[in-house]
Chains A and B, each alone.
Chain A
Amino acid sequence: MSESELGRKWDRCLADAVVKIGTGFGLGIVFSLTFFKRRMWPLAFGSGMGLGMAYSNCQHDFQAPYLLHGKYVKEQEQ
């Protein structure tokens, strides 16, 4: 993996982490205010879920650098 590709992967991971943690936090705020009487645990739960999803995405991205995405093509009957 070249250095520029590695840098791009890290940038993608950080952006993904920011978005997912923010989304989890936001959903936690919504559910805390609507259903859970302004408790703190939905915020922590949502942020933690976002962080875990971002970590999983990053891990998959770094551990499968040569993954090719293919598709099935039906054989044409002669």
Chain B
Amino acid sequence: ARSPGEGAVPGPALSAVPAAWLPALQLLRRGSKAVTRHWKAMHLQRQKLLAVTEYLPPRPAVPPRCLPRDAPQAHQEDGHARVLRRQAEEALRGSRMLAVCQYNSMPDEDVATLRHYLRKHNIHVKFVLNEVVRPVLAQSKYRNLLPLFVCRNILLVSPETRAREMLRVLKGVPQVTLLGTCIDDTILSRQGVENFARLPPLEVSQGETVGALSLLPSQTSSLLQRGPAQLTALLDEHIRRLRDTGSSQEAMEPPQGQSSGNH
């Protein structure tokens, strides 16, 4: 189709250019305008062009899902977690007795009563989150208590070692179960804690030890004095017997001796 503009422009320049400057007149004769409300039907050539020039996404030789995944980034430390960890560290530092108990849900007032009774014996109850407490324990000396920290649990910390009172209070609370204890750097199981509680208090046992140790030295002086004491007893007995016989003889002689003495 010859475009109408060809006649207006000098011939040789335009005859080299194909007639594609304006849309073909045949297309414009019966069609609608460029912008329509409906979706205007496209010419097949245009459809082919759009089909050829579609977007092709990149396809790497190895699909990304076959490659090793990125190492999970260490999540940022929460300020709240840091505060809780510091509190746990302080509690662990100043305690001689550390008991780990499993906690099943209790009514709030029962929890308050339990805390009150334990506080009377200077035992502090701490609710800990496992994800906060685990790194703290791993670095401290309580490393071997780590397997106990599963599920909900509470810590009973105390600067003194009053196991008997603690066991008595915990016996009355069925929802709290004692799992393990660390008393004076010694890990004790439940049985071990019960045995420990049955031991006499420190002063009494110290006195007993001192008494047992000093039993032999206390007998040394009596041992050493036993020979002379026996000799003294023998001599005393002998003198008594002599006196007894002598007094019976002198009872007869002294009146003669006295009478002779009188002469």
Task: Note whether A and B form a binding pair.
Answer: no
Listed in ascending order, the chain A residues whose CB lies under 8 Å from chain B are none
